[in-house]
Amino acid sequence: MATGVGCVASGKRVRGGRSGRLQAASLPWEVLHQIFSYLDIPSLLCAGCVSKSFYQVSNDNLIWHRIYCRYFSCKRKAWKPKAVDIATEKLSKISIQDSPAGFWKREYIHKCAGLGTRGIGQLLKPINRYTGLPSKLKEAVKALGITWMVVLQERNGKEHVKEQSKAYFSDTSATLCWNSAVWPPLSSLKVLCVYGVTPLFRPSKTPATNGRYSPPPHEPVLDDIDPEYGLHGYHCHITLHNGKSCYMSGSFHNLFCRKEYIQNGFLRITVISSKKESQHSTISGNLSFPWNTECLKGNIQHCCLIDVTVLDEAEKLFWCVSSPVAMHSDCTPGVRYSYLGKRLAIDYKDPDGKVHMELIWLEEEKQYYIVNLVLYFSVKKINAWFATNY
């Protein structure tokens, strides 16, 4: 933005470069304020990134209050005598400047950000009864224009900012991809942050009515059948995918567990039983996770993403995870299946729950068979959620 602000000094017009910034910064504050008052909004925001003095001027409340009133003030000004009008204007300027620095800038940006949510509330109202999440989440994200970027900070303070290349949506998750030929070594990283970025919508003369989605609050309930029976009525939705392709997606209802199933602080729920062949399901093809850069493309074999969403008996979201997982050899002793093939397993674990999936690879059919799927929930989480005392 330094190249866009010029000044007259010693009979010469100075434009751009470091000397231009120094000359411009040496101008009286009133002169800079007058120059900045003619800038449009994008230029004003960019000018604040040039130097400390530019930042202070670009945050001036009088400039931003004028911009705010241009778009959002709908009240008509009452007629006043000229002398009274001048005095009123001077008093209003004093009150505006009494606000914290940058107050009206933040108010304007907050108001503009709200414009982007118009109509989003209607998209977020329909809820998918299998996942407990808005069924039109993908459409809502696209309507908001959200993109993502990752910021990598090395130990020496150097930052790398990468903009999102692609985004893929499933029922319960979003998979974000960044393609770059040059990434800093993982050993040199100090901080890794992912930010969601929404565009600053240009306001019209009249403000829009905002629509927002607020999930219903959770109220723990007591087990209404028998304390010895355990918890029941769970709904589980599970998906295996690689962001672009879905390998397996299924919903399971009326799952239950008994009190005697508690082991090592976790309570077990069987989703697919190894003893019931009618429950076994297939996965076609090899699981792989695609990767590519600007120069190379390939696949990471035997890896994928797992999305698990569990609802309680009131169809409220109880547990939700989305994580990369890898298949590994299953050496569980004493297990017999009616299939002849390589035994594999997929495992996921966090402090609240675990997922254990057992598969058989049938070479002739080129398919995986899911022969066992078990969920484990932390007893502490269950007691806190359902107001029980297991």
Q: What is the pLDDT of residues 254-310, one digit of tens each?
A: 888 877 788 888 888 999 888 887 888 888 777 887 776 555 566 678 888 899 999
pLDDT bin (cut points 50, 70, 90) of residue 146 is confident
Give the single-character DSSP code of 34: H
In one-letter notation, the amino acid at residue 290 is P
Kindly state the DSSP code that residue 127 receives in the 8-state scheme.
B
Tokens of 306: 């797992």
Return d(Cα 371, Cα 342) in angstroms, integer: 12
* Domains identified in the chain, total number: 2
Half-sphere exposure of 260 (CA within 13 A, CB side): 1
Q: What is the CATH number of the domain that holds 31?
A: 1.20.1280
Between CA 258 and CA 255 the distance in angstroms is 11
Residue 361 covered by a domain: yes
- Tell me what pLDDT residue 340 has: 77
Q: Which residue stretches of the chain are H helix?
A: 17-25, 29-36, 41-47, 52-58, 61-72, 82-97, 103-115, 120-124, 137-144, 379-386
Q: Does pLDDT of 331 surpass 80?
A: no
Residue 313 lies in a domain: yes
Q: What whole-number distance in Å separates Cα of residue 112 and Cα of residue 42? A: 13
- What is the rounded distance in angstroms from the CA atom of residue 204 to the CA atom of residue 182? 42
CA-closest candidate to residue 279, choices 197, 390, 372: 372
- At 141, list the tokens: 């994200």
Percent of the chain with pLDDT over 90: 7
pLDDT at 61 over 60: yes
Q: Report the pLDDT value the prediction gives residue 353, as an integer from 0 to 100.
A: 92
Residue 105 reports pLDDT greater than 80: yes
Number of Cβ atoms within 10 Å of the Cβ of 64: 23
Q: For the chain, percent helix, then strand, then coil, each to nearest 5?
A: 25, 35, 40
Greatest mean pLDDT among 10-19, 80-89, 299-308: 299-308
Range of the domain at 95: 2-104
- pLDDT > 70 fraction of the chain, expressed in percent and rounded: 73
Q: Which of 49, 83, 104 is the last residue of a domain?
A: 104
Q: What confidence tier does 1 reach under pLDDT thresholds 50, 70, 90?
A: very low
State pLDDT tens for residues 230-245: 678 889 999 998 888 8
Is residue 223 assigned to a domain?
A: no
CB-facing half-sphere around the CA of 302: CA atoms within 13 A: 10
Q: How far apart are CA 190 and CA 153, in angstroms?
A: 6
- Give me the pLDDT at residue 49, please: 81
Looking at per-residue pLDDT, the higher value among 201 and 27 belongs to 27
Q: For residue 54, what pLDDT is reported? A: 86
Q: Which one-letter amino acid corresponds to residue 50?
A: V
Whether 175 has a pLDDT exceeding 60, the answer reads yes
- For 290, the 3-state DSSP assignment is strand
Residue 370 has pLDDT above 50, yes or no: yes
Average pLDDT over residues 345-364: 90
> Between 70 and 77, whose confidence is greater?
70
Q: Where are the beta strands (DSSP E) in 242-311?
A: 246-255, 262-263, 266-272, 281-284, 288-292, 297-301, 303-311
Q: Give the pLDDT of residue 118.
A: 64
**Domain finish residue from 104, 139, 173:** 104
Q: Is residue 110 part of a domain?
A: no
Which of these three, 104, 122, 138, is where a domain ends? 104
**pLDDT tops 60 at residue 194:** yes
pLDDT of residue 375: 93
- Give the confidence band of 137 by pLDDT, cuts at 50, 70, 90: confident
pLDDT tops 50 at residue 168 = yes
pLDDT averaged over every residue in the chain:
76
Give me the residue label for tokens 């040059």: 182
How many CB atoms sit inside 10 A of residue 196's CB?
12
Q: Give residue 208's pLDDT.
A: 38
Q: What's the predicted TM-score (pTM) here?
A: 0.58
Q: Is residue 112, in this structure, part of any structural domain at all?
A: no
Q: What is the pLDDT of residue 335?
A: 62
Tell me the pLDDT band of 228, cut-offs 50, 70 and 90: low
Asked whether residue 170 is domain-assigned, the answer is no
In a domain, 66, yes or no: yes
Which of 179-183, 208-212, 325-329, 331-335 has the largest mean confidence? 325-329
Specify if 143 maps to a domain.
no
